Structure formats: C-alpha cells, structure tokens
C-alpha cells in the first residue's frame, strides 16, 4: 500500500515537472549587466537576448522599463547595452517562453535594427510576447516588427507595434495563433498579415486597434482565420483584405480607410472549400467603397453588416456601400444601409459594380 502511494506521488511529481509548474523567472533591466549567471531579481541581465538565452523551456522573462534593441538608434547593433544580432532579427525566440514587461508598452521599448529583417523572429511553438499591461513598444526593423515561422500556441498581446517598412506583424500559423489587444500603427505596407500553409491552421486576430498603416489587416490563405472585434481606421488602402478561405470577419469597426473590406485573392492550385463570412461589421466613412467583393471559386457570405457613409471620394464608387464584381448575384440581406428605407441616395449607401445585389429584407436600424 505504501509502495503504491509513493509511486503515485512520484508520478505526480514527474508530471508537475513536465508541465512546467516549476518554471522560473529571468529578470532583465536597463541597469542590468550581461554577466555570467545574470537574471535574478537582484542581478538582472542587460539585454533581452541574454535573458532569453538564460531562460529554460516555459520560463518567463520579465523586462523592466527602458529601451532595448538598437539603443542608440543608429541602425546597427553592437553598442553598449545592445543586442547581439541574429541571422534574421534583432531578437530570436527559439524556445517556448513568455516575454513580458513589468510596466507595459509605453515604458518598455524594443527598437529593431535597420540591418536586420525583423525586430522579432519567432522560431518556436508556445511563445508569448506581452499581455494586457505587460506588453512592449516594438519598433520595426528593416522589414517587419514581428515575423514568425510556421508556429502554434503563440500569443502576441498588449503591444504597440509601429514603424515597420513592410508589416508590423507577419504571422504564419501551423495550428492556432492569437494576436490580441495590440495597437498596430504606422507600418508602411500592412499592420497585420495572418496566413497559414495548412487548411486547418488559423490565426485569431481579436480586439486590436489597427490604424494609420498601408493596409490594416490582411487575412491571407489558407486556413479559417478569425478577424473579430478589431477597431480598424485611417489605413491608406484596405481596412481588411480577406482571401477566399473559410475565414470569419465579425464585429469589427472599419472606419475611414481607403476601402473598408475587400475580398478576392485565392490560389488556383488549392481552391478553398468555402469562402469567408463577413458578418455584423460596422463599415462607415471609407473613402472609396465600404465592401468590395470580387470573383472567386466560392461564395462570400454577407450577414447583418452596417454599411453607410462610404464612397466619399467622387467617381465610380461615389456613395457606394457594396460593390459586386463576382460575376453573379450577391446576397446582402439584413444589412443596415444608413436609413430605414434601405439602400439608395444619401444618407443611405447604394450598391454598385457589374453585378446585382439582393438587399431585401434590409435592416431598418443598426445591427
């Protein structure tokens, strides 16, 4: 009996160790020193890279307020207190760890080197960067703020991501990846690009503020990504661009972009099983058109969106809430067009494009 109890206890202990219950904490601070054995609360490391190197699987690296990465902002690493460059990024995370700040994004800044493609390269499953009140300001490198390999179990949350010449966040999922509660702005080509090479893999893009980029959020092939509850504004091109894949674009507020939401890209080598569902979004005041739907191999489902005040620029799309270029009739019932009388002249939005749109029944008040 005693032997059985002891064996069970040892088994439970082994399971506890295996699941990371004894995961440790590595400390990093602007007044730290990258000496041998650094990382304790009393003797923090100076660089995040050294903290990551010291961390074991499932450890947490806690970063105190300060400037990290390219500290002197001269575009090149190697100065006092700066990171040691990796092949692709200013920082490379190659093991499952949590990287958190102690004081939030406003006071914890990581500046990417202009000599390297990204500020962060994520090359491991199970990585967390930031959280609500625990994030970083990530200033982009030569191309991106954060770029990932095909990873799963990753979470990027609570960060400010800015200043990337290409994409703020360029994320590829091999399972499930979460991008949530970030402020993504000032990235030249796109704020967030979500993609997967597997039909079953997905990126969850939730509750982000994505503004003042080239494009806002790009939901690319091939998986069923979810773009939900984001605030997307003042992007030069598309607020949301969604590929022909079984993605869900749901409850976003899309205001003041070049175009609100557009769909249309797909790979003829891998036709999708279903098209995107675009539902219960509020799409207002976009300069060219609110919704632009192009031809593809499968239908786009539109449900209960609020579409008005779009088509501000003069020309073909003036006052156009929904443009249909699919080559067939498009169903857009239960849409609120800005007036109780349905689509039409101001204050409502109209439909346009080469093909008809079925709008009846329409909503008489916002969804």
Mean pLDDT of 207-231: 97
Helix, strand counts (H, E) of the chain: 2, 34
For 107-126, the pLDDT digits (tens) are: 999 999 999 999 999 999 99
For 10-39, the pLDDT digits (tens) are: 444 344 444 444 679 999 999 999 999 999
Check whether 240 has a pLDDT greater than 90.
Answer: yes
In residues, how long is the chain? 367
- Average pLDDT of the residues of the chain: 93
Reduced to 3 DSSP states, what percent helix, strand and coil does the chain have, rounded to the nearest 5?
A: 5, 40, 55
Mean pLDDT of 232-249: 97
Check whether 5 has a pLDDT greater than 60.
Answer: no
Whether 217 and 241 have beta carbons less than 8 Å apart is answered as yes
Whether 45 and 39 have beta carbons less than 8 Å apart is answered as yes
Mean pLDDT of 273-290: 96
Sheet arrangement for strand 160-162: 66-69, 108-111, 137-139, 160-162, 183-185, 209-211, 231-233, 253-255, 282-284, 306-308
Check whether 288 has a pLDDT greater than 70.
Answer: yes
Instruction: Give the model's confidence band at 7: pLDDT under 50 very low, under 70 low, under 90 confident, else very high.
Output: very low
Mean pLDDT of 279-284: 99
pTM higher than 0.85, yes or no? yes
Spatial neighbors of 353 by CB under 8 A, at least 6 apart, are 293, 320, 322, 323, 324, 325
Q: What confidence score (pLDDT) does residue 266 get?
A: 81
For 128-147, the pLDDT digits (tens) are: 999 999 999 999 999 999 99
Q: What confidence score (pLDDT) does residue 22 get?
A: 62
CA distance 194 to 213: 15
| Euclidean distance between the first and the last CA atom of the chain, given in angstroms as a whole number | 65
Q: What confidence score (pLDDT) does residue 8 get?
A: 43
Q: What confidence score (pLDDT) does residue 267 get?
A: 81
Instruction: Give the model's confidence band at 269: pLDDT under 50 very low, under 70 low, under 90 confident, else very high.
Output: confident
Mean pLDDT of 334-349: 98
Tokens of 294: 């192009």
CA distance 6 to 158: 44
**DSSP secondary-structure letter at 22?**
T
Question: Could you tell me where the beta strands, DSSP code E, fall in 277-338?
Answer: 277-279, 282-284, 289-294, 301-303, 306-308, 320-325, 330-331
Quote the percentage of the chain above a pLDDT of 90.
Answer: 87
- Domains of the chain, by residue range, sit at 23-163, 214-367
Whether 239 and 233 have beta carbons less than 8 Å apart is answered as yes
Taking CA atoms, 122 is separated from 35, 98, 267, 300, in Å, by 25, 12, 26, 33
CA angle 323, 326, 332 (to 5 degrees): 55
Mean pLDDT of 251-270: 92
Check whether 306 has a pLDDT greater than 60.
Answer: yes
């Amino acid at each position: 009996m005693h032997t059985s109890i002891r064996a069970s206890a040892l088994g439970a202990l082994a399971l506890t160790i295996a699941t990371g219950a004894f995961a440790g904490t590595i400390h990093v601070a602007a007044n730290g020193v990258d000496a041998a054995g650094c990382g304790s609360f009393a003797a923090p490391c100076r660089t995040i890279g050294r903290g990551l190197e010291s961390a074991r699987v499932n450890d947490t690296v806690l970063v105190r307020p300060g400037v990290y990465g390219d500290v002197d902002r001269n575009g090149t690493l190697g100065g006092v207190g700066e990171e040691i460059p990796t092949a692709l990024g200013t920082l490379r995370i190659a093991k499952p760890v949590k990287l958190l700040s102690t004081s939030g994004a406003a006071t914890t800044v990581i500046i990417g080197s202009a000599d390297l493609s990204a500020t962060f390269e994520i090359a491991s499953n199970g990585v967390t960067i930031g959280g609500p009140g625990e994030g970083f300001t990530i200033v982009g490198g030569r191309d991106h703020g954060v770029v990932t390999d095909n990873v799963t179990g990753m979470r990027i949350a609570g960060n400010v991501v800015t200043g990337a010449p290409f994409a703020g966040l360029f994320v590829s999922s091999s399972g499930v990846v979460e991008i949530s509660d970030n402020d993504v702005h000032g990235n030249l080509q796109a704020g967030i690009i979500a993609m997967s090479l597997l039909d079953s893999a997905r990126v969850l893009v939730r509750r982000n503020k994505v503004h003042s980029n080239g494009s806002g959020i790009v939901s690319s092939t091939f998986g069923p990504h979810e773009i939900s509850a984001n605030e997307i504004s003042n992007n030069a091109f598309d607020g949301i661009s969604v590929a022909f894949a079984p993605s869900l674009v749901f409850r976003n507020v899309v205001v003041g972009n070049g175009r609100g939401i557009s769909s249309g890209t797909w790979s003829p080598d891998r036709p999708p099983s279903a098209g995107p569902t675009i539902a219960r979004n509020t799409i207002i005041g976009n300069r060219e058109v609110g919704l632009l739907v192009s031809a593809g191999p499968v239908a786009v489902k539109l449900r209960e969106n609020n579409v008005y005040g779009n088509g501000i620029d003069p020309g073909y799309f003036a006052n156009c809430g929904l443009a249909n270029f699919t080559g067939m009739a498009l169903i857009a019932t239960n849409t609120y067009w800005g007036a109780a009388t349905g689509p039409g002249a101001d204050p409502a939005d109209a439909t346009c494009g080469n093909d008809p749109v079925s709008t009846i029944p329409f909503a008489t008040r916002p969804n």
